[in-house]
Structure 1
Amino acid sequence: MTRSADRVVPRSNTSLPRAEIDHLADLLADELNLPPGTALALEGSHAEGFGNDCSDVDFLVIYPDSTIQPTLRTTLHLATHRVEVRSQSVAQLTTQLLEVVAASADELSEDLLDRCQRFLYAVPVWCGELIDRIRERLPLPQFDAITARWWARQARLSLRYAVVLAALGAREDADGWARNGAMQAMKYWAARRGECYMEPKWLDHQLDRLGAETDLIQQYRALTGGLPADSESGASGSGFLTDVLDLARQAGLSRITTGRDDVRLDVADNLLTWEADDVVHVFRDRLDVFVLQGSAAEGWRSLSRTQLLTEVTSDGVDGQATGVVAEFLRLGFLTVGWAEDTPLRPWQLIGAPVRPVTPPPSKNDIAVTMRGGVVDIARIGLSALPATRFAAAGMSLVWSDLFLEITREDLTGALQRRDWPLARTAAHRMVMFACRSLLSAHGVEPLPQDTEIVRYLGGLACEHRTIAAECIAALQLPVTSEQLTQTLHDLIGRVRAEAGSGQAAGSLSCPDRLHRLNAIVRAWVGLNSALGLDVLFPEALDLLTTGSQPHLPARSR
């Protein structure tokens, strides 16, 4: 299908010969059966003159109507080329251009700018007049200025983030963001000179086109030619960032470090901090559960809701403490407030703005104890359980241990009085509560019914499944057997040791132990309440207001 009457002579800097463009356009028209009046343009790296033999050949099909064309590209293999085709209607392209005109730099997305740039700088193949009429909505000089402002903002965000990380002692991460900011600063500089192709991988080709001998370009290439640590300036730790900030100033970005002394670190709004028996937990988005130990727990307790960066990095604060704060920042526990960039969320190529990191979860068999989460990382670990299951399993563990203790006393009293029916019931219940404790510690929630709980315990994939056999053996002992008490004592001792429970042991006869148990119960009830979960025994909610047993004087609680 030949459209010679509609053809537009491609500009001379395309990386495909005109004959090849025409041939591919004819093949494309036949393949897609395009209706008359449809415009076609070559876009992307070949239109820019950067493409090579392995590059896709990108075409834009423009329908002369207001239909909604799909965003997804079509991939074809025509002649010897892989051809990517995207389609848009006149109405869609017009809307996108007007969105760019109306939006501020912080409202624009990389994707929208990329789509508009590819269209505005595309090489018309058919129906060039239609393409030119659409382009009148956003003249190239105006688009270049908008794109430059967008890159300026991205460079400022990246370099400010690098400054913060460097202040917190995270030099390697700071250098990485400095490198990212250097690229963005040069994209800003290039966009001001009409080089607006968005894809960063072609930046060097854009700089070549602008004049590789320019001092600024040579300085950029000298800085980024190797890893920061390979250069003399980078080896000192802070030198690379200093050089990049100087590069950005020379590129025209003069306000990068303005307001540095007023930078804030704010605790994120989506967090819940919780402690059980002095173990610190941070719940993020009511979904992820982090267990903080050692210096991380101390560091988190020491932070206020808002603090200046200079307070955290003062001479009196050791490097380990600032390193912990940097980790809090990566995990999204803290946000950075820097003047107009609040919160400070830099962007990297082929990705969204920086988001909180989620590390691999702990692989421990036991996921929760009465003291909280169990993780296999020394400082900050992520529980394998989501927040609501963590809270519910921990609460079940607490109740199971408490009722295990109550039932143990029932058994002792029954044996003393030779009340064999009561002893039989108590022994059976002790085994059930032991199984509940161990399964809750594994994060099993809701728990299976008691009729199947021993079998369920035997189905665990870890060595704890062997405890099921001990439970069965205990249940088979006659209540008159002298072995019963010792067997149950050994079983309960092992379960409590493995499950991290046992805080209820002796609490019914020792006021100090009961006081400590009440504190643990109160912590778990508070957590479940904060997460909107039901509490099995509503009267336990009184612990949240009284702190302990309500009828005793405060000094006795």
Structure 2
Amino acid sequence: MSLTDERLHDLLDKSLAALPRTATADCAVVLEGSLAEGFGNSSSDIDILIVRRGEENLPTMPSVLFVDGRRVEIRTRSVRQLTEQFSALGAQARRPGTLSEDLLNRCQRLLHSRPLRGHALAGEAMALMSRERFSRIAADWWAYRARQSFRHAVALLCLGATDEAVDWSGAALVQTVKAWAAGQGETYLEPKWLPLQLDRVGRPDVRDRYEELRSPCGTPASARTHLTACLAFAAGLGLTGVTADPGRLTVERVTGVTTWQTGERVHVIRRRREVFALGRRAGAVWRSLVPGRTLPQALTAAEDAHGAEPGPVLAAFWRYGLIRLAWKGAGTVTACLPLAAPPGPVTPPPSTARPLLSVHGAAVSGPDGIDLLPLPADRFAAATMALVWSNVVAENAVEDLTGALGRGQWRVAELTARRAVHAALRGLFSAYGVHPLPADCDLVHRMDLLPPDTEPIRAHARELLGRPVDSAEHGEAGLADLRAFLTEVRRAAGADAFPSSFDSAGAWRATLELGHDWLRIGAHVDAELPIEEARDLLASHGAQPHQS
């Protein structure tokens, strides 16, 4: 230890003097952490735990002091809290995969602490679990993580992610050696002290081989060789349940992940909240996946669908939690590192594509794109339904305008033309993910919500909204200008191929089919429907309700 006893007790006296007298009454004081383990240095914190008798619910957060140039952390626990802590550890130990790292760490620090005051009470606290039992629990905890990390590395190597596979092989190596060291009584969790722990165990052969394997090269061949060597070393240290065979891995569904296709675009919704839009090749790979196939089989099928190298796409599906990988006989592969972010799906930055939506699906960055939409699933569905419905309304308005002009109903024609302009603008706003929409009369004023390149559309809309219809000549010119405006807006909103809904039975059927695709997604995520009649279209599976 880098502190003399005299210096340690002097720092302790000064630290405790800064606390209320009631905080140190009828208590034991122990030194925890790296200094208590014999690993610390002049920069190490001085970690003090005060143990008090009784049933109190003392705060978990430490008090941090700076005494004579040293950082001192003081924590407090009652005997009841410590008893519950070790009882919870014993209960969780039966399932190492769910055992809390924080709980394991707290118990380890106390069991290997150094009593400074109140030795009898400190001894009672440290006797809540034997070191031998804790050593077995810690070894099992590390071994579980080592297996998961090795399986993770096997999968990455199969998918062609060489550098990542090497990193996870290295992580698995550390976890394996920590499991073995814990079995020898070296249970301190912090991995950075592993070299000193191996020195203390007194097995130079293990230490030297560990050091040899720590720095591999990054080529595919060397990565495979490194993984094989690490697995052999791990087996020699008693780790079981893992091999280098990727055929032990299977591709499986993830609960809460659903697939929705509109036109050629594949959308994947995660947990009914997040929407991923897949590019052409990524969508083909997604459609090629068959749950239960081995990872090599899935990769072969994906190669046929992708036409190039699908490994990165499959790896991204896995990374984002859209699929899961399972080890035959051992459940889902879930790798994690100590003292790091918890395991789980990664959420990428949201897509920056603009406009975000079209009637045929969300925009994507490219053929291999797996793009997270920057709006929640219910808003995505509501906005796309509004986009489709706005185009239906615009089509209907054009039909009504044509009829009004034919009858010389100039005031009706003027109001109908404005209705068509507003419907088109609603579609444009929806394409950019705006939902709920501004009121119709505010649309042209709220176009500052949209990118600057939509300014010509706003100028055109202002001109049309202010144009009177008071003669056949003005009406026909206005109709032609309105059609040009709708074409301009639809091109910007990705709706240029929208069916001419009211021209024929076939066009109306195409409109219903398009609307039904989006209604199904909206119903799945409980999104707001654009009109009540949409429920009937959903119930009829896209057919007209009275169709024979």
Normalised-by-shorter TM-score class: over 0.9
> What's the counterpart of residue 208 of structure 2?
218
Amino acid at match of 1:522: H
> What's the counterpart of residue 70 of structure 2?
81
In the alignment, structure 1 residue 31 sits paired with structure 2 residue 18: yes
More moved, 279-288 vs 475-484: 475-484
In the alignment, structure 1 residue 19 sits paired with structure 2 residue 19: no
> What's the counterpart of residue 288 of structure 2?
302
- Could you tell me which of 427, 434, 437 is aligned with 1:447? 437
Q: Secondary structure at the match of 1:77?
A: strand
8 A Cα contact 1:40 1:125, kept in partner: yes
- Could you tell me which of 390, 397, 404 is aligned with 1:407? 397
Measured after TM superposition, the shift of residue 248 of structure 1 is 1.0
CA distance in 1, matches of 2:102, 2:47: 16
| 1:384/1:107 CA distance change after superposition, 3 Å | closer
CA distance in 1, matches of 2:223, 2:175: 21
> What's the counterpart of residue 144 of structure 2?
153
Measured after TM superposition, the shift of residue 314 of structure 1 is 4.9
> What's the counterpart of residue 242 of structure 2?
256
Q: Superposed, which structure 2 residues align to 1:331-410 within 5 Å? A: 331-339=320-328, 341-378=330-367, 379-410=369-400
TM-score (norm 1): 0.91
Amino acid at match of 1:419: Q
Q: Secondary structure at the match of 1:238?
A: helix
Measured after TM superposition, the shift of residue 106 of structure 1 is 2.7
More moved, 16-25 vs 165-174: 165-174
> What's the counterpart of residue 252 of structure 2?
266
8 A Cα contact 1:296 1:380, kept in partner: yes
Measured after TM superposition, the shift of residue 166 of structure 1 is 1.6
Q: Secondary structure at the match of 1:410?
A: helix
- Could you tell me which of 221, 229, 232 is aligned with 2:217? 229
> What's the counterpart of residue 51 of structure 1?
40
| 1:514/1:351 CA distance change after superposition, 3 Å | same
CA distance in 2, matches of 1:411, 1:468: 21
8 A Cα contact 1:50 1:205, kept in partner: yes
| 1:525/1:30 CA distance change after superposition, 3 Å | same
In the alignment, structure 1 residue 179 sits paired with structure 2 residue 167: no
Measured after TM superposition, the shift of residue 260 of structure 1 is 6.1
8 A Cα contact 1:458 1:467, kept in partner: no
> What's the counterpart of residue 541 of structure 1?
535
8 A Cα contact 1:458 1:466, kept in partner: no
CA distance in 2, matches of 1:140, 1:458: 67
8 A Cα contact 2:155 2:246, kept in partner: no
| 1:37/1:546 CA distance change after superposition, 3 Å | closer
> What's the counterpart of residue 102 of structure 1?
91
Per-residue CA deviations over 1:289-332 (Å, capped at 9, x if unaligned) read: 10011221011111124323242245994672343222211110
8 A Cα contact 2:432 2:450, kept in partner: no
Aligned pair count reads 535
Amino acid at match of 2:10: H
Q: Secondary structure at the match of 1:281?
A: strand
Amino acid at match of 1:153: Y
> What's the counterpart of residue 285 of structure 1?
271
Amino acid at match of 2:542: G
| 1:458/1:310 CA distance change after superposition, 3 Å | closer
Per-residue CA deviations over 1:80-133 (Å, capped at 9, x if unaligned) read: 101111111111112212222233123321111100010010111001111111
Amino acid at match of 1:488: L
> What's the counterpart of residue 472 of structure 1?
462
Measured after TM superposition, the shift of residue 38 of structure 1 is 1.2
Q: Secondary structure at the match of 2:429?
A: helix
Amino acid at match of 2:217: A
Measured after TM superposition, the shift of residue 388 of structure 1 is 0.6
More moved, 300-309 vs 325-334: 300-309
CA distance in 1, matches of 2:513, 2:207: 64
8 A Cα contact 2:159 2:312, kept in partner: yes
Measured after TM superposition, the shift of residue 217 of structure 1 is 1.7
Measured after TM superposition, the shift of residue 417 of structure 1 is 2.7
In the alignment, structure 1 residue 276 sits paired with structure 2 residue 262: yes
CA distance in 2, matches of 1:439, 1:207: 63
CA distance in 2, matches of 1:432, 1:403: 9
> What's the counterpart of residue 7 of structure 1?
none
CA distance in 2, matches of 1:40, 1:144: 24
In the alignment, structure 1 residue 490 sits paired with structure 2 residue 484: yes
Amino acid at match of 2:423: F
More moved, 484-493 vs 117-126: 484-493
Give the unaligned 5+ runs of structure 2.
none
CA distance in 2, matches of 1:353, 1:158: 14
> What's the counterpart of residue 328 of structure 1?
317
More moved, 451-460 vs 353-362: 451-460
CA distance in 1, matches of 2:265, 2:466: 39
CA distance in 2, matches of 1:257, 1:459: 55
Per-residue CA deviations over 1:392-450 (Å, capped at 9, x if unaligned) read: 00000110001101101111222233220121111110111111111111111111111
CA distance in 2, matches of 1:15, 1:108: 33
Amino acid at match of 2:158: A
Measured after TM superposition, the shift of residue 276 of structure 1 is 0.8
- Could you tell me which of 32, 47, 66 is aligned with 2:55? 66
Instruction: Work out the percentage of aligned pairs sharing the same amino acid.
Output: 36
Amino acid at match of 1:303: L
| 1:475/1:181 CA distance change after superposition, 3 Å | same
Amino acid at match of 1:440: S
8 A Cα contact 1:216 1:250, kept in partner: no
TM-score (norm 2): 0.92
> What's the counterpart of residue 6 of structure 1?
none
> What's the counterpart of residue 131 of structure 1?
122
In the alignment, structure 1 residue 529 sits paired with structure 2 residue 516: no
In the alignment, structure 1 residue 165 sits paired with structure 2 residue 156: yes
Amino acid at match of 1:542: D
